Structure 1
């Protein structure tokens, strides 16, 4: 019996002196130890090549976003920790990519500036990058469906046939009136005209665009650029050319101005003021006055009619609009 106990004691001593290999585990990916061949199951963060992996009972987290220590982390199909922009199931996310920094590899959420652009990473969807109109902190924002970045340039813009306005702080205007346009609670202009919609398809070499609706005898002046034209003057009543001498149709660049014109077409037997050339022989100008008139502000117009089709191809406006 004593001999058996002695042998058992020796065996226990031998076993207790043998080394046991275990996985190196860290609470933070930036401080993870190098991956090693182990006999015991891996657990926690393990450095693998230039990246990191996370194990639970020997199985690595893969292809998903997981909560670890109160933070979200994303892993690709091979189990590597994702950094920077990455995709899962067709959706985009962003993880901190500053090596050694606090929160390294953490999936970011909320309204964030990344690079020189702003994005919204939805905390209710594990940081999924969102687009479209979003209410954040009681304010309305718009994020492009092309690059998902926030539209921040101040001014008007169109989505389809609907007009919106970006304020100086980058938020979308709501429940207000800007440039004569009434804006509703969802940011959309409630009274956009057909001319306003048509204007968005045109470009200009200047910051201005003029549209003439010959059917309705109206003129609108816009400021901005293609796709973002906003009317600064609307529904100016005009007189256009009669059927035998119609006003020209098409796109034109206004290239010449004159304070007074007379002796030709509309001006053959009269004088007009503030003329701007549309094309050869065709002008925007004021209503007409007696031939030789020098000061329209002290004389009665010869023909003050507007909203008609009776000129010799030129387009007449009131004195102040011309």
Structure 2
């Protein structure tokens, strides 16, 4: 055991002082660290004894001591709780003003993520809390907003991941995927759809009793004119719908009468006109083909504002070789091609594959003079849409490549 001599304490084993002993010795309720046979009151370190690691502080185990420590001041840092390494501990631990992430008793320098500690979630970067970190963090299937190193459940804002890419709506500290509507951010108002800012949205949004016009995802406050929404056109001033306005407004070259802020949309003459309104095209033109009525419709304008320019009779595919249906884009064009043994079709415009707009069938003269088959208003072709030569040439001359063709 230990024995005192002139103020020093020495380790005695079987009656003799053991100068070569280094380790722990129990004496009257306390464990002391003996180095070279005597207690080293300056020693503070981790010591392995009987399979456990103990923290010696100023020469003895301090069971009330909790800290982080290394073995011989180098290598891995360990969590010491009540004087012994706590291998079961996982969480945060404070050390000289810094907070570090401990996993199974050891400090994890390579950990990056969220850690829960006494009611708060903290962001750990490279093993310690980063108090300067403000960003969106993905954790257990959800995205959370970390502000100055911890999740602030009172934060409502817009945020990006790592400051780039899409903007997201943060409500009470996490992305609100269910939110659709307006959100304010540093004085600007933006349109959020299912939790994400939609820069492509151009229409109206209702917010706290007012309808606002959205231009490319945000309120510009200077929008004036008609805006299409849910089947109607509404008059907007300063980016807000003015339901008190009555007058005439020009929209894409056409005058509309506005009554109480709502535009009177021009009359749609038939089913083809109504079908056209919901379609879009990469050009200012749109072509529709009604196989049942054997009609080609030519439209000018834009989606929801297609104006019928002409309707022509045509011949479509017979039952055994029907004209294809669906949405297509105008492709290549050509002056003529030969068909059968003696026929020639003039001014063809590609719809899809070998399906074309072209003239009725002429003979193979150098110019279209003699018609071989002038059938019109019937189902008789091999799948192409036949037109009078004037109408085929008009499409050939005027309809740009990429124009949408809808056949039904």
Q: Which TM-score tier does this pair reach, normalised by the shorter chain? A: 0.3 to 0.5
Query: Comparing both chains, which one has the higher relative contact order based on Cα–Cα distances under 8 Å and sequence gaps of 6 or more?
Result: 1
TM-score (norm 1): 0.45
Query: Could you say which structure has the higher helix fraction?
Result: 1
TM-score (norm 2): 0.36
Larger radius of gyration: 2
Query: Could you say which structure has the higher strand fraction?
Result: 2
